[in-house]
Chains A and B, each alone.
Chain A
Amino acid sequence: MTQQTRRYPLPLLVGLVLISIIFIMAVLSIFWLPYQLGDTSGSRLGAPSLHHWFGTDKLGRDLLSRIMIGARIAFEVGLLSVAIGAFLGVLLGLGAGFAQRWMDESFSALLDILIAFPTLLLAMLIVATRGASLTSAIVAIGLGMSAIIARLTRLLVKRVLTQDYITASRASGTSWPRVIVVHILPNIWPTLIVIFALQFGLAGLTEASLSYLGLGSPPPNASWGSLLQEAQATVLTAPIAAIVPGLLLIALVIGMNMIADGLREVADPTMRRSR
């Protein structure tokens, strides 16, 4: 309708602000850093100052610079792992959604097993065979995520398939591929986008756990997880080194949660009328 005012829900805006802060740090880090990562000119474990806003680490490196790199890593992990998870997950889920009888049952069982398999364990397996790297972490997180997305997609597809408009569309001669593109994907999209956003935040958290265990991105490109791990030994004397990455991780997850919530309302036109 023409008079429809596009008012965005408050959680979406708050989420966007939180994620924007991280995003700006991430983008900025590509072109400019306050100090190069090899620069150990600062005092060891220096307190926050005008020159080093978040202080320095035990080697005298600027923490802000390292945190900015961490933001970039969090975004890379989020985007790439969601891309992997979404592609595999939606494809698998569509297949499982269309499968019937024993095919459907074996699909579901397979997905349940995949979901029960901890991402951390999967990551360790991949790291064991390919070595610790950001790529290994992203692949592991993406694979783990694809099972979750596939199971949800399967349910959504099954539900949409029972709807009359699918039968009606097929009754007018629409082929299955076209039905998928025109009716099924648009109708499961509002729910999927919420899961993608949620998983984006969670991917950052999982990567932090992997890095904390030394299974993620190797130094000096430290992710927030490695920063937390490094700060652990000196947390009583220099708490800021643990607090800032911790808060940013929380902002990432909560921000993506809020965006997910808001997106559902924006993506689904039938929900707009209630506002």
Chain B
Amino acid sequence: MKILDVTDLSVKSGTGLALVSNVSFSLEPGARLGLIGESGSGKSLTALAIMGLLPTELNVSGSVLLSDGKTASQQILDAPEKVLNQIRGAVVSIVFQEPLTALDPLMKTGKQLAEPLRRWHGLKGATLQAEIFNALDEVRIGNPKRIADSYPYEISGGERQRAAIAMALACKPALLIADEPTTALDVTVQAEVLALLDTVVASRGMSLLFISHDLAVVSRITDSVLVLKDGEVVEAGSLQNILNEPKHPYTRELVSSAKELDAALTISARSGGDHDISNS
């Protein structure tokens, strides 16, 4: 049974502008897919559509079927809020790009993490406390007690993103959507968070939809990719194929710039210089 099945997903703005056009793809249990595109290509809208979180002023059509692998698939696009609330977090959850804004600034990290745990597992008191530490431990946070007791602005960017990942994982979803989860982090932390996502997704047997504008990042964590441009799928296939024989001009551009960056990195590593890699 498929975890996620998107068919002919289209999103139009209130004024009729096509933002996402006829996007189709699916994910088997445990499968990973990279969604690549520049900003405005519709990749984040696709993610929001899968969560049933699109702003109401947008018109959406097509079909998004979600399943936790055990029960029958549920149509997301026209589902009432009540049904969606049972699916969000438990079947599918999401990690956003900027952890500073994705965490409530006025709520201690531990308390935010407690929200989904309490709701989905009915925990409280000491068991809840222990589960919070467990969850933070799973995302390799060195000092769970300190982090749980801190406001988001008091901890580092990497710690914040780890806490956000812990929150997304709290309800044991079958599918994790990672929307540019490393873009806001600096390079060394990026690698750590990627490795973390890799191990956690593997150990839990989750499916992963990894969204990024950066082919190099995607290539480290997924094995197949979908290239989006202006809301349309321009190329899809295994990572190997796309790297070796990109068909669409846009994909070719992506591949060559990723290779250039790779080469530049190798050279600078050899000469011992530490270049700052910007995401331009």
Contact = CB atoms under 8 A, between A and B. Distances in A.
B151 A269 contact: yes
Interface stretch (B95-103, B208-216, B218-226, B254-262): B95-103
A171 B51 contact: yes
Contacts of A100: 56-57
A5 interface: no
Nearest to A182: B115
Contacts of A168: 94, 96, 102-103, 164, 167
Contacts of B167: 168, 172
Nearest to A160: B104
A232 interface: no
A270 B151 contact: yes
A147 to B, nearest CB: 27
A183 B149 CA distance: 18
B64 interface: no
Interface residues of A, number: 25
A170 interface: yes
B115 A174 contact: yes
Contacts of A186: 104, 106-107
Contacts of A164: 96, 98, 101-102
A165 B101 contact: yes
A44 B222 CA distance: 93
Interface string A53-92: 0000000000000000000000000000000000000000
Interface in A125-179: 163-165, 167-176
A241 to B, nearest CB: 48
- Chain B interface residue bracket vs A: 35 or more
Contacts of B45: none
Contacts of B149: 1
A269 B53 contact: no
Contacts of A182: 104, 107, 115
A230 interface: no
Q: Among the interface residues A173, A183, A268, A270, which one has the most CB atoms of the partner chain B within 10 A?
A: A173
Contacts of B85: 173-175
A187 interface: yes
Contacts, number: 86
A183 B101 CA distance: 13
Nearest to A187: B106
Interface string A236-270: 00000000000000000000000000000000111
Contacts of A190: 106
A164 to B, nearest CB: 4
Contacts of A275: none
B104 A173 contact: no
Nearest to B90: A173
Nearest to B91: A173
Interface string B55-82: 0110000000000000000000000011
B186 interface: no
25 contacts: A1-B154, A100-B56, A165-B103, A165-B104, A165-B105, A167-B48, A168-B96, A168-B102, A170-B53, A171-B53, A171-B89, A172-B115, A172-B116, A172-B170, A172-B171, A173-B84, A173-B85, A173-B116, A173-B120, A174-B119, A175-B81, A175-B82, A183-B107, A187-B105, A270-B153
Given A164-B101, A167-B102, 7 more contacts: A171-B93, A172-B93, A173-B88, A175-B85, A268-B106, A273-B153, A273-B154
